[in-house]
Structure 1
Amino acid sequence: MVIEGMIRQFRYKPDRTKEELHLADPDPTLTPDEVRHHFATTMPLCTALISATVEKPEIEDGKILVYHFKNNLGTKG
C-alpha cells in the first residue's frame, strides 16, 4: 500500500475584475502564512497579499489541499 501526501495549491483573486490565480506550492516545508508572504514579496500582482489572511483549506478531488488568500484591504470593521 502506498500512502501519498496531499498536494497544496494556493488561490488568490487580486480584485473583482480579474480571474482567480492558481499558485503552485513554492516549498512544501513552508507554512501557508509563509507561502502568502513569499508570493507577496516575489510577485508584483500579489503585493496586496502582505495584509491578506489565509482561509482554512478545502479538499479538492480527494488529493489537493486548496488554500484561499483573502485580501483584507478595503474592508471595514
Structure 2
Amino acid sequence: MEILNDAYIIEQLKLGNKEAFEAVFKKYYKLLNVSAFYILRDEMEAEDTVQGFFVDLWERQLYTNINLVIKSLFNYSNP
C-alpha cells in the first residue's frame, strides 16, 4: 500500500501540489540527512545539502521530472 501512497504523492507533486511536497519533505528529510552525513561526515554540511536539494526541487520545479516511486531512491544497503 505504501507504494500506492508514494505513487499518488508523486502524481500530486508533479502537479505542483504544495501538500505533496510537504509530505515528501516530512517523509524523507531525516533519511536524506543521515545519508548525506554518511557521505560528507559533516552534520552542518549534510543538513545544508539536503535543505538545498529541497529548495531546488521546489523553486526550480524539478519535481515535474520525477518518474519513479520515491521509496526506490532509497533501496540501498549501508556498508
TM surpasses 0.5 = no
Output the TM-score relative to the length of structure 2.
Answer: 0.25
Richer in strand (by share): 1
Which structure is higher in helix share? 2
TM-score, normalising length: structure 1? 0.26
